[in-house]
């Protein structure tokens, strides 16, 4: 049967199934479900655990041998399988179906995988897991739900819910859930009583991002070309991968383009920034950028970044660092391209 990840805690309190399958593109979310299942299994006496990493060439005889191997000291065992790909082949599908059909009572089978396409979710082996055990599908946390996800996890760790802090974490981690969780855990250590000094934390974030990719983009949005050059040179000296700058800049300009279109439809800047969950501290930067750059120029910058990306991958012949600097300086409003 399928259950929602948020139903797992109640499900585990009611009893332990013989088989669990958790999958999805967000590794952190899948791992959190697995941790809950393994913690409960340990409480229920499943003290012995073995793990198998499975790809298309895996020898399924190893699992059959493990199932057949009885242990006098730990009769209840966990067999954990991680699929590196959802394509386990005909042999793998047959073996997995056989294992699920004949799983002994003293074995808990836990399986995990990354993102699976619809064809894989309709496969015989998937249907077998769904019939015999519990399936948990994790979805990507979309940007409009990220703040809520961060606030929820802050609450779980005993931290006072603070939207300004949550917005800052979302901005600085760019939707990377693992990085977001690490930042929340740092807060838990820094503020053991759960009461966050918001201004102090925001000041720390600002200092951390001063000479980072975030600081670079913010300088461009502010129109500070001198700082853009300084930070860009610093990042080059630190051998920051150019693809990191390109991808971060692309996301920023893409969002600005959407906002520019909404402005053309006579929506107010304030309502647009609220819709796109712009961090309070960045609102003056976004406002300045939208006033400086019309939609057409932002589109031209996006196309330029596309060529820069292709050049980085050897599919075009631009000087990547020089052209990337030009895009940043243009975003800062110092180079006026003909529209």
What average pLDDT does range 142-169 have in this prediction?
86
pLDDT for res 2: 92
Q: What is the mean predicted confidence (pLDDT) over 227-250?
A: 88
User: Is the model's pLDDT at 207 over the cut of 80?
Assistant: no
pLDDT: is 172 or 135 the higher one? 135
Q: pLDDT value at position 337?
A: 46
For all residues of the chain together, what is the average pLDDT? Answer: 88
pLDDT at 210 over 80: no
Judged on CB neighbours under 10 Å (0-12, 13-18, 19+), 99 is buried
CA distance 165 to 326: 33
Encode pLDDT of 132-145 as tens digits.
999 999 988 876 68
Q: What pLDDT digit, counting tens, does each position of 246-295 carry? A: 988 998 999 999 999 999 888 888 889 888 878 777 889 999 999 999 99
The sign of the CA dihedral 158, 159, 163, 166 is negative
**Percentage, residues of the chain above pLDDT 70:** 94
Cα 27–chain centre separation:
8
> Percent of the chain beyond pLDDT 90?
50
User: Residue 239 — pLDDT band, cuts 50, 70, 90?
Assistant: confident
pLDDT of residue 206: 65
- Contact, 168 vs 205, CB < 8 A? yes
pLDDT digits (tens, 9 = 90+) for 100-116: 998 988 899 999 999 99
Pick the CATH number of 143-205 from 3.30.56.10, 1.10.8.60, 3.40.640.10, 2.102.10.10: 1.10.8.60
The pLDDT value recorded for residue 175 is: 67
Extract the tokens encoding 264. 């053309």
Report whether pLDDT(74) > 60: no
Confidence band for 126, pLDDT divided at 50, 70 and 90: very high
Q: What is the CATH number of domain 213-331?
A: 1.20.272.10
Q: Does domain 2-137 have CATH number 3.40.50.300?
A: yes
pLDDT at 339: 41
pLDDT at residue 313 greater than cutoff 70: yes
Distance set, CA 69 to CA 38, 60, 76, 119, 166 (Å): 21, 14, 12, 34, 49
**What are the extents of the domains in the chain?**
2-137, 143-205, 213-331
Fold equal for 2-137 and 143-205:
no
Whose CA is closest to 24, among 177, 147, 232, 185?
A: 177
More confident residue, 70 or 40: 40
């Amino acid at each position: 049967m399928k259950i929602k990840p948020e139903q797992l805690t109640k499900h585990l309190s009611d009893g332990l199934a013989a088989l669990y399958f958790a999958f999805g593109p967000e590794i952190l979310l899948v791992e959190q479900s697995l941790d809950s299942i393994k913690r409960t299994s340990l409480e229920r006496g499943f003290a012995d655990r073995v793990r198998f990493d499975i790809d298309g060439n895996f020898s399924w005889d190893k699992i059959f041998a493990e199932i057949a191997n009885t242990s006098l000291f730990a009769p209840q065992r966990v067999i954990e399988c991680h699929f590196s790909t959802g394509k386990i082949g005909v042999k793998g599908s047959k073996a997995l179906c056989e294992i699920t059909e004949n799983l002994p009572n003293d074995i808990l089978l836990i399986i995990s995988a990354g993102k699976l396409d619809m064809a894989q979710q309709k496969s015989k082996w998937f249907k077998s897991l769904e019939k015999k055990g519990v399936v948990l599908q994790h979805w990507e946390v979309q940007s409009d739900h990220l703040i809520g996800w961060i606030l929820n996890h802050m609450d779980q760790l005993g931290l006072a819910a603070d939207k300004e802090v949550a917005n800052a974490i979302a901005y600085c981690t760019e939707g990377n859930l693992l990085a977001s969780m690490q930042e929340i855990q740092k807060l838990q250590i820094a503020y053991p009583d759960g009461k966050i000094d918001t201004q102090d934390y925001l000041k720390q974030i600002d200092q951390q991002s001063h000479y980072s990719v975030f600081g670079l983009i913010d300088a461009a949005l502010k129109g500070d070309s001198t700082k853009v050059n300084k930070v860009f040179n610093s990042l080059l000296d630190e051998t920051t991968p150019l693809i990191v700058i390109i991808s971060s800049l692309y996301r920023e300009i893409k969002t600005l383009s959407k906002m520019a279109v909404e402005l053309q439809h006579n929506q107010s800047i304030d309502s647009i920034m609220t819709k796109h969950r712009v961090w309070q501290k960045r609102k003056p930067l976004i406002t300045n950028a939208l006033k400086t750059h019309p939609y057409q120029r932002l589109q031209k910058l996006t196309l330029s970044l596309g060529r820069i990306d292709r050049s980085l991958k050897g599919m075009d012949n631009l000087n990547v660092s020089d052209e990337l600097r030009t895009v940043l300086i243009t975003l800062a409003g110092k180079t006026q391209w003909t529209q």
